[in-house]
A and B are shown apart, each in its own frame.
Chain A
């Protein structure tokens, strides 16, 4: 078994993780990579921010007020 991912492979898995659950082996390999890779840690933070912002935006569009945006 290959025990290290490249950043490219890690990024692909992180993107996949946004839309469907990863197999356990991929999840573990990803955890190991992200722990030691500063660049991919930032990518994770960026994806988190995008996810959160998209949700807030949707809430805002659904309710039509600005409250969703602050939370």
Chain B
């Protein structure tokens, strides 16, 4: 094995963790990582040391993750937004006022400097319904633009908004419950 191949192979566990978090399916994650490593080994000259090897590989992996999502989840993207339920009803009174005003989350530095906060964030993402989690992660982890997500999953932008709004509102609720309610936020 060449030196380059060895270095690439060493990063497999790191890539697997990233792929699993996005896809939540071990078999798809394996496939994406294998395709990523293959692509990297076929074109070592493309690396040319212009960035960290890890960063370069993650860049390739992101494309392979999108391929997997396109292949495997297109039909599975159930349009939960079409059931007529408006998630805003849960948070707002009929006259448009907040049912419960958002609380003060305090200094963002305080939350973002704690490892435990990110464990809660991750757990909250894992608790999202699968379709919402998928589009949220495509947006935030794969950094896809909205129209790209619509194209890959063959859904309308109206449906994407519904899914993303739900994901963000649920995430906010989960963080409130599992993190901020237990913190003493200074006034």
Which A residues contact B (CB, under 8 angstroms)?
A: 6-9, 11-12, 15-16, 18-20, 38-40, 42-43, 45-50, 52-58, 60-64, 66, 69-70
Q: Which of A20, A49, A61, A69 contacts B115 (CB 8 A)?
A: A69
Is the Cβ of B111 less than 8 Å from the Cβ of A7? no
A54 is contacted by which of B21, B58, B105, B121 (Cβ under 8 Å)? Answer: B121
Other than the given A11-B92, A15-B169, A50-B168, 5 more pairs (CB < 8 A) read A7-B92, A8-B97, A42-B105, A46-B172, A63-B54
- Contact for A57 among B98, B105, B121, CB less than 8 A: B121
Are the CB atoms of A19 and B55 closer together than 8 Å?
no
The answer to whether A42 touches B102 (Cβ under 8 A) is: yes
Which B residues fall within an 8 A CB radius of A? 14, 17-18, 21, 52, 54-55, 58, 88, 91-92, 95-98, 101-105, 108, 111-113, 115, 117-118, 121-122, 139-141, 146, 160-161, 164-165, 168-169, 171-172, 175
Residue of B17, B103, B118, B168 near A53 (CB, 8 A) is: B118
User: A-B pairs with CB below 8 Å: how many?
Assistant: 103
A6-B97, A64-B54 given; A11·B118 CB < 8 A = no
Residues of B within 8 A of A7 (CB): 92, 96-98
Decide: A20 and B168 in contact? CB cutoff 8 A. no
Given A43-B102, A45-B105, A61-B18, A53 and B97 touching (CB < 8 A)? no
| The one of A6, A19, A48 that contacts B139, using a Cβ cutoff of 8 Å | A19
CB pairs A–B below 8 angstroms (7 shown): A15-B164, A16-B165, A45-B108, A47-B168, A53-B111, A56-B118, A61-B141
Give Cα distance in the complex from A47 to B169, angstroms: 9
Decide: A19 and B101 in contact? CB cutoff 8 A: no
Q: Is the Cβ of B161 less than 8 Å from the Cβ of A62?
A: no
